[in-house]
Amino acid sequence: MQNKNTFELIKTLDFNSDKKLSNLSQLFFLIIAGLGVGAIFLFRLYDNHESKTVFIVLSCIAYIIIHELTHIIFMKLFSKEKILFHFKFPYVAVGSASYFNKYQFIIIALAPIVLYTVVLSALFLVFPQSVNLLLSIVMILNFAGSSGDILQAYEISKLKKDIYIQDDGLSAKIYTKS
């Protein structure tokens, strides 16, 4: 962990106050969700599906929890700082008081989408076709729900190497050493 006194704030990524970033994230979410739902109908993944709606909803809630826990695990790998939690329906966010370097932050941001794309893809191969609808919905949630993570990682990737990011779950403050 770095001492805050040695840093100079150069940029803030805030989905609440930056309308362009917020709109882009929401648009990304809607496009991915729309394409995903379209694929469900195109490939008729709903045929012969016997899962109950409640099970699908609970699976989506479980995925959201697992997604955020993955961020926490990677934050804890890079820092021992306290984790911060934010709930603002329908969003859940986690953050930390730690300062992560550029590469640590990108790993933390993208870990859920990378890990669960691999896991869900493998499950498509292992489980019978009767659970394809459930897996498809969770995969759509995986991509659409990671839209903010992807945008943050993209914005951070465009910046110089020697930056540090402190993301409290509400906004990501980007610093350079002063």
Domain ranges in the chain are 4-177
Distance CA 164, CA 161 (A): 9
Return the bridge partners of 103, or none: none
pTM of this structure? 0.84
pLDDT class for 58, splitting at 50, 70, 90?
confident
pLDDT tens digits for range 68-117: 999 999 999 999 899 999 886 667 889 999 999 999 999 999 999 999 99
Q: Which tens digits make up the pLDDT trace of 147-172?
A: 999 999 999 999 999 999 999 988 99
What does the alpha-carbon distance between residue 9 and residue 3 come to, in Å, rounded to a whole number?
Answer: 13
